[in-house]
Structure 1
Amino acid sequence: MKLGFNQATTLENSNLATDLELCERHGYDYIEIRTMDKLPEYLEQYSLQRLSAYFQENHIKPYALNALVYFNNRSEDEYQQLLKEFKQMLEYAKELQVPYIVVVPLVTKEKILKKDIKASSVAVLHELAELAAPYGVKLAVEFVGHPDCTINTFEQAYDIVQKVDNPNVGLVLDCFHFHAMNSSIEALRQADISKVFILHMDDTEDFPIGSLVDEDRVWPGQGVIDLEGILSVLKESGFDGPATVELFRPEYYEMKAEDVIKKAKETTAEVVSKYL
């Protein structure tokens, strides 16, 4: 099993250039690049061509651009801005040879009917997939395990992806989000695991379902998520993608970035190696 690093894990105590150096040093195979902050910050000082050369010259490779946020149920003006952002991400993906773009559903206090969420999501994913196809880029939908997210369970996200029925549209399975709104292990077992494009590894403190937030994440294996159940199903189903650690823990941002990157790899590898 290969290991990846999501830049959220060092969001407040590092940058892209440093993350790359440290991840290369500690033997990570992949990195998920944050396009909302870390990539623009990098490009203020360096060129995209320099970043591409780094990947060509080193072991670590880019696995995903993370993320196009709030893709569904937008106003026309908001959607046109979203398309503009997505087209720029496709150009980044082309230059850097990134295979996936993560797309995140709308988070809102507004109550939207599930049928309207599904209709919008399917239509948008169809269009985005058509735009991405010439670039060889696939879309990974990341449901967010919080009541305010319009797509917040594995079952709901999987149903939408099945409706889209495009080989270039799949899912991010984030263990925290899977646990946070009580997604079903049985639903995961019944699913076509080839639709799981990206696996995010994390764990969480034991707060009630529906109240969890990203900052509650802890090192993999040191919380209450049924990682054994999730990973056992993935193993049985033949999942062979990398496992990417993604944490948003405030205490970890107070640590040295290298200590976080090292600890994140150790804890993730310890958990994942038992199954994948």
Structure 2
Amino acid sequence: MNLRDKFKLKVLQSNGTQYEMFFNEVMKNACHEFQSVKPHGNIGDRGNDGWIQRTGAYFQVYAPEELFKNTEAAKKKVKSDFITLKAYWEQISPIRSFFYVVNDKFQGVSPHISLVLEEIKSENNLEKTGVFSTSNLESVLFRLPQESICSLLGVSQPQVDQLYDDRKKVREFLDSMASVFDELFNLGREAGYFFPVNVFTFISEWTDSDWQFRRLLSSNENIQDHQVNMRSQLIKMHNQVRNDNYYEYIGRSFKYKPPYDLDNRNELIKSKKDSMGKFINKFAESYVVVSDYST
């Protein structure tokens, strides 16, 4: 699992309090001026879950279940909580911007929340208001040094280094056959009728270097299976052309040219296109998985 997947899992598993703690830790790492507010007795935090005094930026964190049950209730809550914030904190440090932090589970926040924040901005002459979503938190987190990201997500640096090295190896695997992708994906099943000579030559040379292929296999078994499948489909394409005497070299392609007087000539051509199309589709399916892993 990569770091972004780890982040998404942490977000999805966090309840209101857990998410508030995670938000505060990320912000403290990202901005040394950010201050958390610890609730005191029955007065709580007076609507302030974190702030940056110099810029007058204040943050309130909400659990998603507080937001979406009722539009009017959610709007009233946002305004009420801002009033609580302003009544206590304005005298300590003027409020210039107000951010509504919510663990939206990557689903987005209803437009009515943005609307009420604009009303708060206008009514209180603020410089800025806005929703601070999980996507915003993700952006802040992944601008941090990698060791900080690992610490916040509970991942060891060696694990990340191993993943980085493995992905680098898989990218090299894909780069080694970059010339093949455009040709095959553009042609599709038509490659069964005109098969590119450069692709045929590449497969011949590439499959002769088994050690090179093995060197670039991922340590992730699922990805490795897809790499093996990509190679297998290329070999099947190569064998279809090599083992059929009706394929004729015509310069840049091998053209499938069964005799014109064959009764089933059209059916033969169609069958070669269909089989090649299946090989390419299976190759492409694995390519998508391997490519996603490598990024």
TM-score (norm 2): 0.31
From the two aligned structures, give the one with the greater strand fraction.
1
TM-score (norm 1): 0.33
* Larger Rg, first or second structure (1 or 2): 2
From the two aligned structures, give the one with the greater helix fraction.
2
